[in-house]
């Protein structure tokens, strides 16, 4: 998330915005992210404030060399994504003694300026299974690592096509592991790793050797591209989040380029036999009663332009449920002629793991025209209400709203109120008259920005922001996109993003990192798109083919490149989930690595990545747009420790014990579009021996 500061150093850096995971940097409409422009702004604030690869001997790892460990077997820690560890060796009292004990270099990094046309974002969270760490790099290499030394056991390279311009950068958030109960210890693919690639393949690997599982699909892989529909360019359709397992079914979603066209590739979610790769089921999010014809389905019969599931999924295996966070249908900012595709849009959908049938769905935004797609993994936990423990799904959103849903029925545990929202959008648009607002917890970000809220570092700066607010359509949250130009607060990069939340399962305390930055969206006649794009290079201007309107999206910045709203622009918050009350909320992050001078001023900055909670009473998180890894006190929000990273930590950490020692690991490879420091490091911290 970025926009504009080198204005002061290089005399202009074009203001751009391409939200989080679902940016619209397509072939014809490439734009940096919100964090890029913001870098320059923060500088000024700081100054004023003061194939496959070689495979070693199979006996080197796996069952042959088990390590005693408290593991982290899934992307989110457990299959329900709580991001919690019961390991408590590192505590409030000794966390200040943490030191780097090993660093692994994955080798895959790109600034998008060479033969590799896409930037990289090292958003990976490793898993620890059977005493072995497994990671994936932004270019989808899968690597097995010794958790004590950081040494590589093996690596596998799927040799993805890096010549494409990927809509969401080159990203691999994680892999999933599965132990096949029908295979004996030592048998090939007894432990299988599943990974989904940027170029649209699902691959199964032997966890002990890294070799493809020959009995799965075509020699270990399935090409997911053809069934989703024809792509306009390599990278319009990709996988960025890890697959999940429910029973012996491996389930995978997808990410599709935003704002390009009504008939974008299908967002179909598919379940495959984990042993053979045979398709078990497919759910394409088409609305009930959808009528297929030659123009609106792929060759496989999946509806085009449906909501996709780019964020991580979660699983309740006991209940045979897969929880799917959906995006909004394509394109984002005008759906007038096609409102029916919003039926499952911006929702949490519970699917039966064995069949793919819909068990229930809950919509967080009706007729989403703000790119408020559900961005984070649904988190499975429990809350206590009226003396009864209730299994729940906790869904964090870009609006800074937290929905708490009964896991079996999808009904809200805290009341949700349908409130009237602004109407009279662009010509031909059909708006929902109301939107859902949970009564508890309260919003974690502001929902309205008035002229009195305009902020600038100097009088003329603040005045310009105030004047621009007066010129825009600005009726608070859910102000519809218009030809006049509409202020979006929060914008599509607001609230929680793909890093999700962490929950302490016994204390029922949730921790989330939030962003709070205003955006501007303007629609204009579709026939003017080409000329407008040529006249404004570097801006985020998207065609929205199949609609009457093209789209212009940007961060709301002052003339000198500052956000027009007072900081903090990023916070860390804790919520009591039993009572639905905010316990604390503090500014998160400094301008230390956003300014030309290393001034660690705690303004609170945007962040990408998420937190983890440990039994030691700590919250570990990197994520912020400075190169720090931090630990906070879960009780108070006090920052207890921080350490410099070799690159941006735009990832979610994990923790485990091995040979009696607790480790905390974070990927530090930066985020290309956010223009944080790029690298290829995986860094492990532990207490001194």
- At residue 508, the pLDDT reads 97
- At residue 214, the pLDDT reads 96
All domains of the chain in start order, with CATH: 34-50+58-686 (2.140.10.10)
Indicate if the pLDDT at residue 52 is higher than 70: no
Distances (CA, A) of 681 to 622, 644, 666: 13, 12, 9
* Average pLDDT across the chain, whole number: 90
Indicate if the pLDDT at residue 154 is higher than 60: yes
Is the separation of the CB atoms in 134 and 145 below 8 Å? Answer: yes
Q: Which residues contact 388 (CB under 8 A, 6 or more apart)?
A: none
- At residue 336, the pLDDT reads 87
Q: What is the pLDDT of residues 398-438, one digit of tens each?
A: 999 999 999 999 999 999 999 999 999 999 999 999 999 99
Average pLDDT over residues 189-201: 98
Q: Which of 489, 553, 544 is nearest to 34 (CA)?
A: 553
Evaluate the CA torsion angle 518, 523, 529, 535 in order and state its sign.
Answer: negative
Indicate if the pLDDT at residue 25 is higher than 60: no
The pLDDT-based confidence of 644 (bands split at 50, 70, 90) is very high
Indicate if the pLDDT at residue 39 is higher than 70: no
Indicate if the pLDDT at residue 119 is higher than 90: yes
Distances (CA, A) of 634 to 69, 144, 504, 653: 24, 32, 9, 16
Indicate if the pLDDT at residue 10 is higher than 50: no
The pLDDT-based confidence of 135 (bands split at 50, 70, 90) is very high
Q: Which of 238, 342, 337, 284 is nearest to 545 (CA)?
A: 337
- At residue 538, the pLDDT reads 86
The pLDDT-based confidence of 41 (bands split at 50, 70, 90) is very low
Indicate if the pLDDT at residue 163 is higher than 80: yes
Cα separation, 23 vs 346, in Å, equals 16
SS3 293: coil
371 is a catalytic site residue = yes
SS3 322: strand
Indicate which residue of 108, 199, 368, 371 is catalytic: 371
Q: Which of 201, 122, 123, 217 is nearest to 159 (CA)?
A: 201
Q: Comparing 120-129, 138-147, 226-235, which segment has the lowest mean pLDDT?
A: 226-235
The pLDDT-based confidence of 20 (bands split at 50, 70, 90) is very low
The pLDDT-based confidence of 561 (bands split at 50, 70, 90) is confident
Q: Comparing 16-20, 220-224, 261-265, 566-570, which segment has the lowest mean pLDDT?
A: 16-20
- At residue 458, the pLDDT reads 85
Indicate if the pLDDT at residue 559 is higher than 90: no
Average pLDDT over residues 89-108: 98
Indicate if the pLDDT at residue 3 is higher than 90: no
Indicate if the pLDDT at residue 344 is higher than 70: yes
The pLDDT-based confidence of 185 (bands split at 50, 70, 90) is very high
Cα separation, 654 vs 569, in Å, equals 25
- At residue 562, the pLDDT reads 77
Q: Which of 74, 60, 61, 56 is nearest to 211 (CA)?
A: 56
- At residue 8, the pLDDT reads 28
- At residue 42, the pLDDT reads 46
The pLDDT-based confidence of 595 (bands split at 50, 70, 90) is low
The pLDDT-based confidence of 327 (bands split at 50, 70, 90) is very high
Q: 198 or 52, which is more confident?
A: 198
Indicate if the pLDDT at residue 26 is higher than 70: no
Rg for the chain, CA atoms, rounded: 23
Indicate if the pLDDT at residue 9 is higher than 70: no
Q: Comparing 82-86, 174-178, 343-347, 565-569, which segment has the lowest mean pLDDT?
A: 565-569
| pTM, full prediction | 0.92
Cα separation, 64 vs 572, in Å, equals 42
Q: What is the pLDDT of residues 247-266, one digit of tens each?
A: 999 999 999 999 999 999 99
Whose tokens are 């397992």? That residue is 245
3-state SS, 78-143, equals: CCCCCCEECCCCCCCCCHHHCEEEEEEECCCCCECCCCCCCEEECCCCCEEECCEEEEECCCCCEE
The pLDDT-based confidence of 591 (bands split at 50, 70, 90) is confident
Is the separation of the CB atoms in 669 and 121 below 8 Å? Answer: yes
Evaluate the CA torsion angle 1, 582, 564, 556 in order and state its sign.
Answer: positive
Evaluate the CA torsion angle 610, 666, 612, 133 in order and state its sign.
Answer: positive
- At residue 57, the pLDDT reads 36
């Amino acid at each position: 998330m970025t926009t504009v500061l080198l204005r002061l150093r290089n005399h202009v850096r074009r203001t751009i915005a391409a939200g989080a995971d679902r940016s619209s940097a397509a072939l014809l409409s490439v734009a940096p992210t919100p964090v890029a422009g913001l870098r320059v702004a923060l500088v000024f604030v700081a100054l004023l404030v003061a194939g496959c690869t070689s495979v070693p001997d199979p006996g080197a790892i796996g069952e042959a060399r088990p390590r005693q460990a408290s593991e982290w077997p899934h992307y989110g820690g457990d299959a329900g994504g709580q991001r919690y560890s019961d390991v408590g060796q590192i505590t409030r009292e000794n966390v200040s003694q943490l030191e780097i004990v090993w660093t692994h270099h994955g080798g895959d990094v790109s600034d998008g300026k060479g033969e590799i046309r896409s930037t990289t974002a090292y958003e990976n969270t490793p898993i620890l299974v059977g005493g072995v760490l497994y990671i994936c790099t932004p270019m989808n290499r899968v690597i097995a690592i010794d958790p004590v030394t950081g040494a590589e056991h093996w690596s596998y390279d799927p040799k993805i096509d890096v010549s494409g311009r990927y809509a969401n950068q080159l990203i691999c958030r994680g892999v999933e592991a599965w132990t096949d109960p029908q295979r004996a210890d030592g048998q090939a693919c007894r432990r299988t790793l599943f990974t989904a690639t940027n170029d649209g393949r699902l691959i199964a690997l032997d966890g002990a050797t890294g070799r493809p599982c020959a009995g799965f699909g075509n020699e270990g892989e399935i090409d997911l591209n053809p069934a989703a529909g024809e792509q306009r360019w390599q990278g319009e359709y990709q996988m960025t989040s890890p697959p999940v397992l429910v029973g012996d079914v491996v389930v995978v979603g997808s990410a599709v380029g935003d704002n390009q066209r009504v008939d974008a590739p299908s967002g179909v979610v598919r379940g495959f036999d984990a042993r053979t790769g045979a398709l078990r089921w497919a759910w394409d999010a088409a609305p009930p009663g959808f009528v297929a014809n030659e123009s609106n389905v792929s060759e496989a019969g999946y509806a085009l332009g449906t909501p996709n599931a780019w964020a991580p999924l979660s699983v309740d295996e006991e209940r045979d449920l897969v929880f799917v966070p959906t995006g909004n249908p394509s394109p984002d900012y005008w759906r007038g002629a096609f409102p029916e595709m919003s039926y499952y849009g911006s929702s949490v959908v519970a699917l039966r793991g064995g069949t793919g049938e819909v068990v229930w769905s809950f919509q967080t935004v009706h007729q989403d025209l703000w790119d408020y797609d559900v961005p984070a993994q649904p988190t499975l936990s429990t809350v206590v209400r009226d003396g009864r423990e209730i299994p729940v799904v906790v869904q964090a959103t870009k609006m800074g709203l937290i929905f708490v849903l009964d896991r079996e029925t999808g009904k809200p545990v805290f009341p949700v109120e349908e409130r009237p929202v602004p109407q009279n959008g662009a010509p031909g648009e059909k708006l929902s008259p109301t939107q859902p607002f949970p009564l508890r917890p309260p919003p974690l970000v502001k929902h309205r920005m008035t002229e009195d809220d305009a902020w600038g570092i100097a009088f003329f700066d603040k005045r310009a922001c105030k004047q621009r607010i007066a010129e825009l359509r600005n009726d608070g949250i859910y102000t519809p996109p218009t030809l006049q130009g509409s202020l979006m607060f929060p914008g599509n990069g607001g609230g929680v993003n793909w890093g999700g939340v962490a929950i302490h399962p016994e204390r029922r305390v949730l921790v989330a990192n939030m962003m709070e930055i205003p955006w501007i969206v303007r629609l204009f006649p579709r026939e003017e798109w080409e000329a407008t794009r040529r006249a404004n290079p570097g801006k985020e201007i998207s065609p929205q083919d199949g609609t009457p309107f093209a789209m212009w999206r940007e961060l709301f910045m002052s003339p000198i490149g500052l956000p027009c709203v007072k900081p903090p622009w990023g916070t860390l918050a804790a919520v009591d989930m039993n009572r639905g009350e905010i316990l604390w909320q503090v500014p998160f992050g400094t301008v230390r690595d956003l300014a030309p001078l290393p001034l660690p001023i705690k303004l609170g900055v945007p962040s990408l990545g998420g937190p983890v909670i440990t039994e030691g009473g700590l919250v570990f998180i990197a994520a912020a747009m400075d190169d720090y890894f931090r630990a906070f006190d879960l009780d108070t929000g006090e920052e207890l420790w921080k350490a410099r990273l070799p690159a941006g930590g735009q990832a979610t950490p994990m923790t485990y014990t091995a040979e009696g020692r607790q480790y905390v690991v974070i990927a530090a490879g930066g985020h290309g579009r956010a223009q944080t420091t790029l690298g290829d490091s995986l860094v492990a911290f532990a207490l001194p021996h």
